[in-house]
Amino acid sequence: MKAGIMSARVFRILRWVIGLLVVGLVLSGVGFVVWANTVPAIMPEAQTALTSTTQVSVTNDGWLAFMPVNNSPRVGYVIYPGGKVPAEAYAPLAQAIAQEGYFVAIVSVPLYLALFNTNAAQPVLAAHPDIEVWAVGGHSLGGVAASQFAKDNPENVKGLILMASQSFPGAGLETATGLEVISLYGTLDGLFTEDSKTASRAELPAATQFIAIEGGNHAQFGWYGSQAGDNTATISYAEQQAQVVSATVALLAQLAPQP
């Protein structure tokens, strides 16, 4: 009788403990989702860049698409957003590159974390079979995801553009052939540190160009305001973005098929 009572009591205690664990896991999951979906508002410049112009048509096809109006581009570029940053924050960058004659798409990713869908660029490539050469890239965590996509799709992706970012750990891009890579970083970046740059050099092809933006920081690769842990830039958003556009367009021009 006593053994039966003890067993029932142990069962109740175990059920109570398991219930607490389940509740804890649920609350942790909910907390993570809330945290991931708490993102900064985009700046007015980004909102303006979401509108079509006489030079660039802007559409939302499951991703933000920026298509030059007066030419049929042969080179396309897919941007993965930084962690917990809205895709729309990179609209001014995409607009400026598209104005130079290149198709640009900015993908949206689950919970604003690109590592949850490193394959996000694939539907974009499939929707534009007329584009002959592709580059992918991204800011911060987005660049990590883009590097994995480049590794997995060497037949399609010929360029990789990292913005304050590094390669996906263990992706093996240091031995990649036929992949042109540039790595852009601000000299006042408080998040992409010297240790990050050192690690990145070992994980990327030897011919990778590392391009410093003097006075630039981490947040000014997008238009979403300041970021915790970052340093204050000594150059304007416009100046940092202009340097990013210039370096990106130079790489895309290098990838363009010969007539």
Superfamily of domain 41-255: Alpha/Beta hydrolase fold, catalytic domain (3.40.50.1820)
Whole-number pLDDT of residue 200: 87
Beta strand 157-163 with 133-139: parallel, antiparallel or unpaired? parallel
Residue 9 pLDDT > 90: no
* Torsions phi, psi for 104 (to 5 deg): -130, 135
Whole-number pLDDT of residue 23: 47
Whole-number pLDDT of residue 14: 53
Could you tell me how far CA 170 lies from the centroid of its own chain? 18
Q: Which residues contact 184 (CB under 8 A, 6 or more apart)?
A: 161, 162, 163, 164, 211, 213, 221, 243, 244, 247
Whole-number pLDDT of residue 147: 96
pLDDT in tens, 171-199: 889 998 899 999 999 999 999 988 888 88
Q: Hunting for tokens 């980004």 — which residue is that?
A: 46
Band (pLDDT 50/70/90 cuts) for residue 38 is: low
Residue 37 pLDDT > 70: no
Domain boundaries, the chain: 1-38, 41-255
pLDDT in tens, 202-241: 899 999 999 999 999 999 999 999 999 999 999 999 999 9
pLDDT in tens, 119-174: 999 999 999 999 999 999 999 999 999 999 999 999 999 999 999 999 988 888 99
Q: Hunting for tokens 């660039």 — which residue is that?
A: 56
Whole-number pLDDT of residue 258: 75
Q: Hunting for tokens 């030079």 — which residue is that?
A: 55
